């Protein structure tokens, strides 16, 4: 799929988390890109209005906030001692990060100004390019790795442009071996083999964040909800979720 990439200058980079699910644990979210080339079918981000793009264009455009590192330097007083979620509305290690290295440059700025906690949230092995930088944060940094299913054919349908399950497992293993704390983001939990998903990820993580698919009004593949309707039935989904959650600590 063709990706429309625009280089922009942003006015701010740290978004205060006063309301919403992140507000309990984080002071700010940090999104170096707007839009996301992974374009997951269930993504909730298109629910929030964008001046230039319609919800059904989600996954076809990315705005690159070229001045993000400089903005972090300017907003450095906010960083000291704060808890930062990196990123809530884009994947910081989507493929154009290879060209722009913007997430890396933002991490370098964060390191300079000593946040209390940084959570990198991704489904991409490209984060491994920055492993030394991640390690330099010590126990102040953790990685939330998206792992919504164990079945790559399911992943291909819901997240056709994102890295495979095999790559994510390899990523989990490498992060774990390098002493970087990882938790699994099973959000939303997609059709899966619950025993297998537990078996695959538990060697590398003991905590998960598990949730259902929300905001179905912006889901761009309602046919998949229909196709897997037995899995998504409320009582089945709750039972699978409860089983998997019982094997981990909930994040």
Supply the minimum distance, in Å, between the C-beta of residue 92 and ligand SF4: 9
Kindly state the DSSP code that residue 90 receives in the 8-state scheme.
S
Do the beta carbons of residue 191 and residue 149 sit within 8 Å? yes
Which single residue is written with the structure tokens 């290879």? 98
**Residues in a beta bridge with 86:** 120
User: Number of residues in contact with ligand SF4, rule: CB under 6 A?
Assistant: 10
Q: What track of x and - describes contact with ligand SF4 for positions 111 through 150 (by CB under 6 A)?
A: ------------x---------------------------
By DSSP bridging, strand 117-122 and strand 141-146 are parallel
> Which one of residues 13, 22, 30, 45 is an interface residue with ligand SF4 (CB under 6 A)?
45
Supply the minimum distance, in Å, between the C-beta of residue 222 and ligand SF4: 17
In the bound state with ligand SF4, the residue whose beta carbon lies nearer, of 29 and 142, is 29
> Which one of residues 13, 30, 34, 36 is an interface residue with ligand SF4 (CB under 6 A)?
36
Alpha helices in the chain (DSSP H): 68-74, 76-79, 97-100, 102-112, 131-135, 152-158, 165-177, 194-201, 222-227, 229-232, 234-245
Supply the minimum distance, in Å, between the C-beta of residue 72 and ligand SF4: 20
Decide if residue 91 touches ligand SF4 (CB under 6 A): yes
Supply the minimum distance, in Å, between the C-beta of residue 173 and ligand SF4: 21
In the bound state with ligand SF4, the residue whose beta carbon lies nearer, of 82 and 146, is 146
Do the beta carbons of residue 110 and residue 79 sit within 8 Å? yes
Q: What track of x and - describes contact with ligand SF4 for positions 165 through 184 (by CB under 6 A)?
A: --------------------
> Which one of residues 32, 34, 39, 224 is an interface residue with ligand SF4 (CB under 6 A)?
39
* Residue 176 to residues 46, 124, 145, 205, Cα–Cα distance (Å): 33, 15, 12, 8
Closest CA to 83 of 116, 40, 130, 41: 116
By DSSP bridging, strand 33-35 and strand 61-65 are antiparallel
Supply the minimum distance, in Å, between the C-beta of residue 90 and ligand SF4: 5
CA 238 – CA 233 distance, rounded (Å)? 8
Supply the minimum distance, in Å, between the C-beta of residue 120 and ligand SF4: 12
The residues that touch ligand SF4, with contacts defined as CB under 6 A, are 36, 38-40, 43, 45, 89-91, 123
């Amino acid at each position: 799929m063709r990706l429309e990439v625009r280089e922009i200058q942003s006015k701010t980079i740290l978004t205060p988390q006063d309301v919403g699910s992140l507000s309990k644990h984080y002071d700010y979210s940090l999104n170096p890109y707007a839009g996301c080339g992974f374009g997951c079918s269930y993504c909730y981000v298109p629910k929030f209005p964008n001046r230039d793009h319609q919800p059904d264009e989600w996954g076809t455009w990315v705005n690159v906030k070229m001045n993000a590192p400089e903005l972090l330097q300017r907003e450095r007083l906010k960083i000291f001692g704060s808890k930062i979620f990196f990123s809530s509305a884009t994947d910081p290690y989507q493929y154009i990060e290879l060209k722009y290295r913007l997430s890396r440059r933002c991490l370098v700025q964060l390191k300079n100004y000593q946040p209390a906690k940084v959570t990198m949230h991704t489904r991409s092995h490209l984060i491994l390019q920055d492993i030394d930088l991640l390690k330099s944060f010590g126990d102040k940094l953790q990685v939330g790795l998206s792992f919504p299913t164990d079945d790559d054919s399911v992943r291909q349908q819901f997240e056709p442009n994102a890295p495979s399950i095999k790559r994510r497992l390899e990523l989990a293993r490498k992060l774990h071996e390098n002493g970087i704390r990882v938790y699994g983001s099973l959000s939303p939990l997609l059709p899966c083999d619950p025993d297998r998903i537990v078996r695959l990820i538990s060697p590398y993580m003991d905590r998960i964040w598990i949730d259902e698919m929300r905001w179905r009004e912006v889901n761009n593949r309602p046919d998949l909800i229909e196709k897997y309707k037995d899995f998504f039935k409320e009582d089945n989904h709750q039972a699978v979720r409860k089983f998997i959650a019982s094997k981990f600590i909930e994040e």
